[in-house]
Amino acid sequence: MNKDYQNIKVIGFDADDTLWVNETYFRAAEEEAGLLLSHYETPNKIDQELFKMEIKNLPTYGYGVKGFVLSMIELAIELSNGTVSNKVIGEMLKIGKDMINKPIELLDGVEEVLKGLSKDYRLIVATKGDLLDQERKLEKSGLLKYFHHIEVLSEKQEANYSKLLKHLDIEPEAFLMVGNSLKSDILPLVNIGAKAIHVPFHTTWQHEEVSKKDTNGSDYKTINSLSEILDFFGTKK
């Protein structure tokens, strides 16, 4: 076992883009929105304005597909000066329903890793997004049997993680977080004294991007695929 993890007792996993594909569907939906609103603006401008609308609405709607769709509709009304057709609004609602009903596509090595680690460690999910949607995805994933606890957070900041660890009676030094977002899954944990492993996904939402300055001096590891975690713990594949 890697000596850095000899005190670990509980391992937390992000869900979207760590356990299964998610952000890819949002990128595709943004392209569809650009086409639906192409009478009013260029695709690049629509993409920029949709992102601004999502960020503005985060305190009201939170994260997830529903907030994304409501932001998309609000943008359509704004760009069209209230003349957007019912047909376009209907198409946007359909985009959202299609996203929610997407099959769960597990990332490579996910079940292998969870099965291996669950023999010796308590595993939890710490994710953010719409509660109903995340519960649905976890149920459809077939992975629930590996986890002792599921937590859907409104935000992933130091205070949220500290509150979660206290609630579960976990000392920070005994906790390891695994996720694809440096901003949400890695840096907050490092800052409260826990361990973290970064598993990058091929696409990242703008809101989750960080600069090199933000990561300077932060003690975490980056791996190319989830399966590499088993090497750190000496767990048989």
Range of the domain at 40: 23-100
* 42 and 150 fall within a common domain: no
Q: What is the pLDDT of residues 72-111, one digit of tens each?
A: 999 999 999 999 999 999 999 999 999 999 999 999 999 9
Alpha helices per DSSP H over 9-79: 23-36, 43-61, 65-79
CA nearest 110: which of 15, 189, 223? 15
Q: How many domains in the chain?
A: 2
* Domain end call among 48, 76, 100: 100
* 122 and 219 fall within a common domain: yes
List 236's β-bridge partners, or say none: none
* 72 and 124 fall within a common domain: no
* Domain end call among 67, 100, 133: 100
* 112 and 145 fall within a common domain: yes
* 80 and 115 fall within a common domain: no
Please report, for the domain that includes residue 46, its CATH number.
1.10.150.240
* 40 and 152 fall within a common domain: no
Please report, for the domain that includes residue 176, its CATH number.
3.40.50.1000
Q: What is the pLDDT of residues 11-64, one digit of tens each?
A: 999 999 999 999 999 999 999 999 999 999 999 999 999 999 999 999 999 999
